[in-house]
Amino acid sequence: MSSQLGQLFRISTWGESHGGGVGVVIDGCPPLIDLAEADIQRDLDRRRPGQSEITTPRHEADAARILSGVFEGKTLGTPIAISVMNQDARPEAYREMETAFRPSHADYTTQAKFGIRNWQGGGRASARETIGRVAAGAVAKRVLASLAPGLEIVAYVKAIHTLEAAVDPATVTAEQVESNIVRCPDAEVAERMIEHIKRLRTEGDSAGGVIECVVRGVPPGLGEPVFDKLEADLAKAMLSLPATKGFEIGSGFAGARLTGAQHNDPFVIREGRVRTATNHSGGVQGGMSNGEDIFFRVAFKPTPTITRPQATVTVTGEETQLAARGRHDPCVVPRAVPIVEAMAALVLCDHALRQRGQCGRI
């Protein structure tokens, strides 16, 4: 379904950027998991607008409220509904969008699909829709902490525009990521990224970038052998995020330029366990985790909302020009870091429960 993800840990998000609010319903959460609103708020705060000088100035507290499914601090096993009310919506800033399609946004395709759209903001294509994902991802992390203790998900900015950071996925920490506002653990490059984003904003332009994510401590055997391969579900989850254009796992596109002898990961025994000597596979073989670190990269296009005038057309088919006036991010990548982590948590949590259902253990 359009607005649902997951088989056993299934989320349904709802809400438009400029309707009453946004939210999520989580169906299938295991019972007896410790869960507080603060667990959710922590990740929402990393996602929310207005958090730093390189994000949109739209001010939203994004305060999450748990409406059901939790009793005396523990999950009941019943649907967990979480909602966040919109506060700082300014639909008047979108008045021009009633008639003109913003280039490289979803305005035209939404109109083409449904024959109607809420032009007061981005509708379902708005980044606000991801609030429900981040909230659900926070719950998924709590479940994973119970199912697979030691599992750890860390995402970070790997590149902004042409600036690329040097990061070791095996050792990078969440603290390093959160140590600067661009969420790049390479401190030196991070500073240049911040300056670069500010300059592009001044020029009425915007930047894209790449997020890398590593998952450590994954038990072997998660993922399914055919369509629901772990990398397939991760790819879908990431490409379902606004503004994404690519996904690669392990060696990725560079791996296509190696030979088999170079690329294969020899098996070895280390501390009594089956391990691989290298990790071109990125922690997944044949769609199932092999116990090594899972790491992947996601490409984000530059924010399409820019203040420079752009050529476009109107709903009635006339050519016109449009320059953004609504508040927006010159680069969505830093705020997308917790979103990528949330999507990874959702996929892994779902597969952990599926594994337990079919095979009786994780």
Which residues from 236-265 bind a second copy, rule CB under 8 A? Answer: 236-240, 242, 244-253, 255-265
Smallest distance, a second copy to C-beta of residue 58, A:
18
Q: Does 334 bind a second copy (CB under 8 A)?
A: no
Number of residues that bind a second copy (CB under 8 A): 154
Nearest to 70 by CA among 24, 30, 15: 30
- Residue labelled with tokens 């869960």: 35
DSSP code at position 146: H
Rounded to a whole number, what is the distance in angstroms from the first to the last CA of the chain?
Answer: 27
In the window 78-137, what residues touch a second copy (CB under 8 A)? 78-81, 83, 101, 103-106, 108-110, 112-118, 123-125, 129
Smallest distance, a second copy to C-beta of residue 49, A:
18
Q: Does 1 bind a second copy (CB under 8 A)?
A: yes
Contact 339, 135 (CB under 8 A): no
DSSP code at position 240: T
The 3-class secondary structure across 158-170, one letter per residue, is: EEECCEECCCCCC
Q: Does 353 bind a second copy (CB under 8 A)?
A: yes
Closer residue to a second copy in complex, CB, 180/305:
305
Classified as helix, coil or strand, 337 is helix
Residues pairing with 320 in the sheet:
312
Tokens of 166: 């040097």
In the window 18-47, what residues touch a second copy (CB under 8 A)? 19-23, 25, 27-32
Candidates 41, 56, 180, 281: give the one binding a second copy (CB under 8 A): 281
Closer residue to a second copy in complex, CB, 67/187:
67
Contact characters 132-171, a second copy, x per CB under 8 A: ---------------------------x-xx---------
Smallest distance, a second copy to C-beta of residue 324, A:
10
Give one DSSP letter per residue of 267-287, joined into a string.
Answer: EEEETTEEEESS-TTTTEETT
Smallest distance, a second copy to C-beta of residue 175, A:
26
CB atoms within 10 A of CB 162: 8
